[in-house]
Amino acid sequence: MRFPNGLLKIGVSTWQDLLFYFPSKYTDESKITDIAKLKQTEVVQLQVQVLSSVIVFRPKRTLIVKVFDTSGVAELRFLHFRQSFKDFFSVDRKIKVSGVCRISSKGFEFIHPKVIDGWYPTNIDPTKFLVSTYPSIKGVSQDFIKRWIKKALDLECPKEWLPPDLLEKYDLPTLEDSFRQIHQPQIIGDSVSLIDGLQNKTNRFWKRIKIDELVAQQISFRNKKKAVKRKEVKKLLDKEKLANHLIDRLPFKLTKSQKKVWEEVRADLAKPSPTRRLIQGDVGSGKTVIAALAVATAVGSNMQAAIMTPSELLALQVFRKMEAWFSDLEIKLVFLSSAQSLKEKKINLKSIFLGDVNLVVGTHALIQSDVTFKNLGLSIIDEQHKFGVNQREKLSSNGCHLLGMSATPIPRSLAMTFLADLDISTVDEAPKSRGKIITKLVSSDRRQEILKRIKVFIRDGGQAFWVCPMIDDAIDANRALKTLSSTEKWLRSVFEDELAVVHGKLTKDEKKVAMKEFEEGKRKILLATTVIEVGIDVPNAGLIIVENSERFGLAQLHQLRGRVGRGGSDALCIFLYSKSLTDLAIDRLKILHSTTNGFEIAKRDLELRGPGEILGTKQSGENVFIFCNLNNDWSLLNDAIYLTNELVSRAKLKGVPNLELSLSALVSRWSKSKNSI
C-alpha cells in the first residue's frame, strides 16, 4: 500500500518503518501539581480553572490568562494567538496546563504553555497518562503519527521468534510487548525512572530491541563469512618461491610469532576460497614484513598485489620499505596517490591495467573508478579500522584475497563481536632489535627543562618528535592550530633550520619534503600532529614529546610512543599534561606510565572509552548500529554472542526448521531498518 504524504515526509514508507519510528520524548501527565507548590524552571502539569483573560498591547500584544486552583493563582502568557484562541479561555473553564514555571514579581507565570481542554476524570486508569512525543516536521501532527503507529502495532507487529526457554534464560520480554511498551508505555511504579529508562534506551524493553539488533549483526557476519568461503579465487602457491627468497634476503630473522602468523597467512593464500584475515600486533611488532611475504607470494603466483593505507605519509613509508626489500627480486612497484600529476597518474594507471607492475602502494586513490588491475590476486589494507566497510570491500570487489593490518591490538571479546567475519592472526612478540622505551609524565610547566634535554639529545646525534593535537578537529580546530603555531615559534627560536613541521594544513608536497628531510637527518626535530601516529619509521629518532597528552586516547598515545625505539637503542617518551586534569585523565596517563603492552592498554582503553575508539568507528564515521551504542551497551554484547551461539546450534538440528527461517527474517528486518532509518 502507499502511505500518506505526511508519513513519507518523515521518512516512513513501510509498516516496519512505522514500528521502528520510536518516540523521542515522554511526558507523565498524570502528575498534577498545586500552584502553591510550583518551583522555578520546573516542568509541571496543572489542572486549573480560568479566572480571566485579557489582551494587553504594551510592551507587546499579549494574551494574559489568569488561572486558579484551590491553592493559588498563576498567569499564562501568549504572544502569538488568534481571537478564537482568546475566546477559548472562558471564565471557570476547566483546563490542563503543561509547561515550565517561571517565578516573577507578579507571581507564578507560564510562557506559551501547552493547554488541553478539560480535566482528567477521577475514575480514569492512571497507566494511560505517559504521553509519547515523536520526531516530526511542520504539517505532520503528533495525533496523525500516533494513529498510524497504533495501526502498525495492531496489524504488523513482529511475532515472537525466540523460544520461551531462551526468553526466560536471558530475562527478555516478548518482541510485541517491547514494541508496545516503547510506543505506548504504561506507568508501572515510578514514572521518573520509567521515562529515564525509555528516553535513554536502558529499560528491559529497549534491551530486547538491542539484543535483536546485536544477534542480527552476529548472524549477518557469520553468513557473510560463509558466503566468502563459498567463492572461488586463484590459489596463490608461489611456484617461483619468491617469499622464501625474500626471507633469505631480509637483514633480520623473523621472530617465532612472525613465523607462526606467516604460516597462517600462507596457508590461507594457498586455498581456493578468498582469504579474509586481520593481522594485528603491537606497535613495532613487525607486521609489515608479513605483508611483504604475502605480496611476494602473490607475485610468485603471477598475480598483482595492492597495499592501501589511510595517509600518504604512511603509504610512502610502506612503498620505500617494500622497494628496499624487493630490490633483488625483480618485483616492479608503483606508487599511486591523488596528489600525483595527471600525466604521472595516467602512466601509472596504464601500467597497472597492462600488468606491467606487480605491486601498487597508495592511498584511497586505489579504489577510484579509473583504477583497473589486470589480475589482482591480493589486497592488503594497512590500519584497516580507519577505513569504512564499503571502502575495504571495494579493494577486494573482484574476489581476490584480502588481508587487513592493525597496530591497535583488539581485545578478544571485541574481536569476537565486531570482527566475526574475519580470521585473526596476532603478532605478539617484539623483534629483538626494538629498544626499550621509557615513559615519563611531565607537567607542561616544565617545558623549558624539556627543551634543554632536546638540545643535549640532538647534540649527541639523536632526533626527536614533538607532537601537538590534531588541527583538523572540528571542535578544537582554532585552539589546536594556535597551540601548534605557538609551539613552532618557540621551537624555531631555538632550533632554527633544524626544525621540520608536518601537519594536516600543509600541502602534500610540503609534508613530503619535511618528512624526507627529517628521515635523511637534515632536520633534527619534527614538530607534527597525529599524522605521524602510524607507520612512520625513523630509526634514529629516540625521543618523543606529546603535548596536551590528556586530550588523546590511550591507544593513540601508545601508537605515538611507538614511533621511537626503532633503531635498537633505548628511547624516551614524555607525555606533557596540563594542571587541570580530571581524575579520569590522571588514571589514563598512569596506565601508559605503568605498561608498554599494547594489548593491556587496549583492554583498559575499552573499559574507559568504549569500543568506538579501538574499532575506529569514530575516524571512519561508520554507523555500526541503529539503536545500540558501542560504549553504553557493551554489557549486552556477551549475552548476544552466547544467545547467537545457542540459536545457531539449534537451527542446525533436524526438526527445528522454523528457527532458521526466523533467523533469516531477523537479519532481513534489521538490514531493511538500517537502510531506512
- CATH number of the domain within which 289 lies: 3.40.50.300
Domain for residue 303, yes or no? yes
How far does Cα 537 stand from its chain's mean position? Answer: 27
Is the distance from CB of 406 to CB of 280 less than 8 angstroms?
yes
What the block records as the C-alpha cell of 484 is 601548534
Domain for residue 627, yes or no? no
Query: Which helix (H) or strand (E) segment is 479 a member of?
Result: helix 477-495
Distance CA 510, CA 312 (A): 12
What the block records as the C-alpha cell of 553 is 586516547
Is the distance from CB of 405 to CB of 382 less than 8 angstroms?
yes
Q: Are residues 521 and 421 in the same domain?
A: no
Instruction: For 330-358, write each residue's pLDDT tens digit.
Output: 899 999 988 788 899 999 999 999 999 99
pLDDT at residue number 412: 63
Distance CA 182, CA 541 (A): 57
- SS3 call for 6: helix
Q: Are residues 274 and 404 in the same domain?
A: yes
User: What's the total number of domains in the chain?
Assistant: 3
pLDDT at residue number 481: 64
Instruction: For 377-412, write each residue's pLDDT tens digit.
Output: 999 999 877 776 677 777 777 678 999 998 776 766
Query: Which helix (H) or strand (E) segment is 423 a member of?
Result: strand 423-427
> Exposure pattern of 633-652 as b/e (b: 16+ CB <10 Å)?
bbebbebbbebbeebbeebe
CA distance to 293, 317, 633, per residue, from 265 (Å)? 9, 23, 34
Domain for residue 16, yes or no? no
* Residues above pLDDT 90, as percent of the chain: 45
Query: Which helix (H) or strand (E) segment is 495 a member of?
Result: helix 477-495
pLDDT at residue number 478: 59
pLDDT at residue number 654: 58
Of the residues 549, 566, 596, which one is the last residue of a structural domain? 596
Is the distance from CB of 342 to CB of 270 less than 8 angstroms?
no
What the block records as the C-alpha cell of 521 is 637527518
Q: Which residue has the cell 511526558?
A: 27
The domain of 556 spans 437-596
Q: Are residues 393 and 451 in the same domain?
A: no
Where in 478-584 does DSSP place strands (E)? Answer: 499-502, 525-528, 541-546, 571-577
Q: Are residues 282 and 416 in the same domain?
A: yes
Distance CA 213, CA 221 (A): 12
CA distance to 238, 250, 314, 333, 358, per residue, from 329 (Å)? 13, 12, 23, 11, 11
Is the distance from CB of 511 to CB of 502 less than 8 angstroms?
yes
Query: Counting Cβ atoms within 10 Å, is residue 370 exposed (0-12), middle (13-18) or buried (19+)?
Result: exposed
CA distance to 74, 123, 533, per residue, from 119 (Å)? 17, 11, 64
- SS3 call for 95: strand
Q: Are residues 423 and 442 in the same domain?
A: no
Q: Is beta strand 359-362 parallel, antiparallel or unpaired with respect to 333-336?
A: parallel
Domain for residue 502, yes or no? yes
Instruction: For 619-677, write each residue's pLDDT tens digit.
Output: 443 456 888 876 678 778 888 888 998 998 888 775 555 777 788 888 888 876 555 54
Of the residues 99, 119, 139, which one is the last residue of a structural domain? 119
pLDDT at residue number 411: 65
Q: Are residues 283 and 362 in the same domain?
A: yes
pLDDT at residue number 165: 93
Distance CA 67, CA 94 (A): 9
Where in 57-140 does DSSP place strands (E)? Answer: 62-69, 72-78, 94-100, 102-104, 107-111, 114-117, 130-133
- SS3 call for 498: helix
CA distance to 44, 50, 284, 327, 415, per residue, from 73 (Å)? 15, 10, 73, 90, 62
Of the residues 368, 397, 427, which one is the last residue of a structural domain? 427
Distance CA 57, CA 63 (A): 9
Q: What is the pTM of this model?
A: 0.72
Output phi, psi for 279, to 5 deg: -100, 115
Q: Are residues 423 and 447 in the same domain?
A: no
Distance CA 94, CA 658 (A): 56
Q: Which residue has the cell 600486533?
A: 281
Query: Counting Cβ atoms within 10 Å, is residue 385 exposed (0-12), middle (13-18) or buried (19+)?
Result: buried
Sequence-separated (6 or more) residues with CB below 8 Å from residue 321: 288, 292, 537
pLDDT averaged over every residue in the chain: 86
Distance CA 515, CA 538 (A): 10
Q: Are residues 546 and 517 in the same domain?
A: yes
Q: Are residues 378 and 488 in the same domain?
A: no
Domain for residue 36, yes or no? yes
Q: Are residues 401 and 483 in the same domain?
A: no
Q: Are residues 410 and 452 in the same domain?
A: no
Domain for residue 124, yes or no? no
- CATH number of the domain within which 67 lies: 2.40.50.140
What the block records as the C-alpha cell of 7 is 508519513
Q: Is the dihedral of CA 562, 521, 313, 539 positive or negative?
A: negative
Distance CA 492, CA 386 (A): 33
pLDDT at residue number 182: 95
Domain for residue 672, yes or no? no
Domain for residue 195, yes or no? no
Q: Are residues 408 and 460 in the same domain?
A: no
- pLDDT-flagged residues of the chain (< 70): 121-129, 388-389, 398, 409, 411-418, 470-481, 533-535, 606-624, 630-631, 654-657, 672-677
Query: Which residues on neighbouring strands pair with residue 528, listed in sequence order?
Result: 467, 502
Sequence-separated (6 or more) residues with CB below 8 Å from residue 592: 439, 441, 554, 557, 558, 561, 575, 601
DSSP string, 139-196: T--HHHHHHHHHHHHHHHPPPP-S-HHHHHHTT---HHHHHHHHHS----S-HHHHHH
